[in-house]
Homo-oligomer: A and B are copies of this chain.
Amino acid sequence: MSIALRPHHNGRAALSGVFRDALVHERTVVSHMEVSLQGETPKFVHVVHSGLMCRSHMLADGRRQITAVLLPGDICNVEAVLTGKADYSVSALTAGSIGEIPTGSPLEINDLAPDLRQAFWSQTLRDAAILREWMIGLGRRNALERTAHLFCELWTRLQHIGLADVDGYEMKVTQSDLGDILGLSGVHVNRTLQQLRAIGFIHFRNGTLRISNPAELTKLAGFDPSYLG
């Protein structure tokens, strides 16, 4: 499947056009596989085709924090390609596949074609807006609100690319990985999910998230989708 054939919206419309004629090598990844490594210079622009990927950071003692969840259509390593150094790893939260577009020497933004530049720019702005929202969550929301907010965000983003169901979406992510996204322990994620289920907001079984009460979930999270463009 070519990236140009996926449904796309917002900044991503430009993206598929840009890469339509590029030499794109598709690569299948299994869950938890590392696509590119923290500290290295990536030799490809990576674009998610299917599945969920993430940008993750490892501390010296093994603590891990995920700073982005990447959905189909998302560029995994915008900055890294241009600055020549990644401060994060890209790895797979679920099985899936990614496109690899070879890149030459580090480029400046003004070396890029206008449509590619536009694609990189809009994705970078959106990534930054999501980062800020996550930071608000990590700093000032408790586990329940934060988890609810993540579920709302992903639902909206998946709707934009036509991958959401009317009452939820598929999300084959382990609770431990959810913890690394939310800054929680795996155990506490489990308890938080149970709590969200107990109050009738969600059901989460076998990698499928069903949102039973979207209005209340949104309210609990304090979720306002406008930052997602």
Contact = CB atoms under 8 A, between A and B. Distances in A.
A133 B117 CA distance: 25
A82 B229 CA distance: 12
Given A88-B132, A109-B117, A138-B135, A125 B124 contact: yes
A149 to B, nearest CB: 11
A226 B87 contact: yes
A60 interface: yes
Interface stretch (A16-24, A62-70, A188-196): A62-70
Interface residues of A, number: 44
Given A65-B139, A140-B65, A125 B83 contact: yes
A108 B117 CA distance: 11
Contacts of A108: 118
A57 B149 CA distance: 16
A127 B125 contact: no
A134 interface: yes
Interface in A107-133: 108-110, 114, 117-118, 121-122, 124-125, 127-129, 131-133
A134 B136 contact: no
Nearest to A182: B139
A106 interface: no
A131 B140 contact: no
A59 B127 contact: no
A178 B121 CA distance: 31
Given A59-B222, A79-B128, A121 B109 contact: yes
A227 B63 CA distance: 19
Contacts of A87: 129, 132-133, 226-227
Given A110-B114, A124-B124, A229-B83, A139 B138 contact: yes
Interface in A44-97: 55, 57, 59-60, 63-65, 67, 79, 82-83, 85, 87-88
Top 10 closest pairs, chain A to chain B, by CB: A139-B183, A138-B138, A109-B121, A131-B131, A65-B139, A63-B140, A67-B132, A65-B136, A87-B227, A65-B140
